[in-house]
């Protein structure tokens, strides 16, 4: 079991805290000498080392049918940079080291900070969050490879799109539209239209360290 950092925006951190986000999608960087197949099918990343690659980090992914069952068709791909099933991810988010009245230092988190009048003038970037300041840990339960636009309505909700809907509506088509909006605000509309291959990483939350300074006003 290995542990790696992963960055999330404020809305996605709130979705994690609410238990509404159990998936994330990250763009695949394919091997230059072996492009990914031109298909919209979903593939399971099985984590089995290729015997022919000489240990260069390449693995196989197995094609799935419409019901998620494996088909005897494989494709070579680079190792998932986020880990295999059973590995863990620790969440990096916007934060700030706050010193209280007795000189004790607390990490506070922008996604949960309720007092705008006393908000730090400059929150620290998630990329600079040390492991010691992390409050959320995740365990990977499934890894697949698929086209971005292959996302289903159920998966869009698992991505946290439901928490972004106004009026508490949860219609299928709306969930995918909201996910597209979320994705485009991060990666640009051109990225959605390009329909890139993405890692579809499913996970479960295994740790949430509550910080009274940060979450006192949100519970």
Q: Tell me the pLDDT tens digit for each residue of 120-178.
A: 778 999 999 999 999 999 999 998 888 899 899 899 999 998 766 544 444 445 888 88
166 and 216 Cβ atoms separated by less than 8 Å: no
Q: Tell me the pLDDT tens digit for each residue of 20-38.
A: 999 999 998 865 545 666 6
180 Cβ contact partners less than 8 Å away, ≥ 6 residues apart: 192
Instruction: Classify residue 170: in a domain, yes or no.
Output: no
Task: Residue 127: count other Cβ atoms within 10 Å of its Cβ.
Answer: 9
Count of domains forming the chain: 1
Instruction: Classify residue 103: in a domain, yes or no.
Output: yes
Instruction: Classify residue 213: in a domain, yes or no.
Output: no
- Its pTM stands at 0.79
Instruction: Classify residue 207: in a domain, yes or no.
Output: no
Instruction: Classify residue 110: in a domain, yes or no.
Output: yes
3-class DSSP state for residue 164?
helix
Concatenate the DSSP letters of all residues of 165-182 into one string.
Answer: -GGG---HHHHHHHHHHH
Instruction: Classify residue 124: in a domain, yes or no.
Output: yes
Instruction: Classify residue 117: in a domain, yes or no.
Output: yes
- State the residue range of the domain holding 98: 92-132
Instruction: Classify residue 63: in a domain, yes or no.
Output: no
């Amino acid at each position: 079991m290995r542990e790696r950092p992963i960055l999330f925006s404020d809305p996605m951190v709130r979705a994690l805290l609410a238990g509404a986000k159990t998936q994330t999608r990250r763009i695949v960087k394919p091997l230059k000498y072996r492009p990914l197949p031109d298909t919209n099918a979903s593939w399971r990343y099985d984590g089995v080392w290729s015997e022919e690659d000489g240990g260069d980090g390449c693995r196989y992914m197995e094609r799935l049918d419409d019901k998620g069952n494996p088909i005897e068709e494989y494709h070579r791909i680079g190792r998932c940079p986020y880990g295999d099933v059973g590995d863990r991810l620790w969440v990096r988010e916007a934060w700030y080291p706050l010193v209280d009245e007795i000189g004790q230092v607390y990490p506070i988190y922008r996604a949960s900070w309720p007092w705008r009048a006393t908000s730090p003038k400059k929150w620290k970037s998630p990329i600079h969050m040390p492991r010691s300041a992390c409050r959320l840990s995740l365990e990977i339960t499934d890894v697949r490879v698929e086209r971005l636009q292959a996302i289903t309505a159920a998966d869009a909700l698992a991505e946290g799109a439901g928490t972004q809907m106004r009026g508490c509506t949860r219609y299928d088509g709306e969930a995918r539209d909201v996910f597209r909006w979320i994705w485009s605000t991060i990666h640009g509309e051109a990225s959605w239209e390009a329909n890139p291959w993405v890692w579809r990483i499913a996970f479960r939350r295994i740790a949430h360290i509550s910080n009274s300074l940060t979450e006192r006003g949100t519970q």
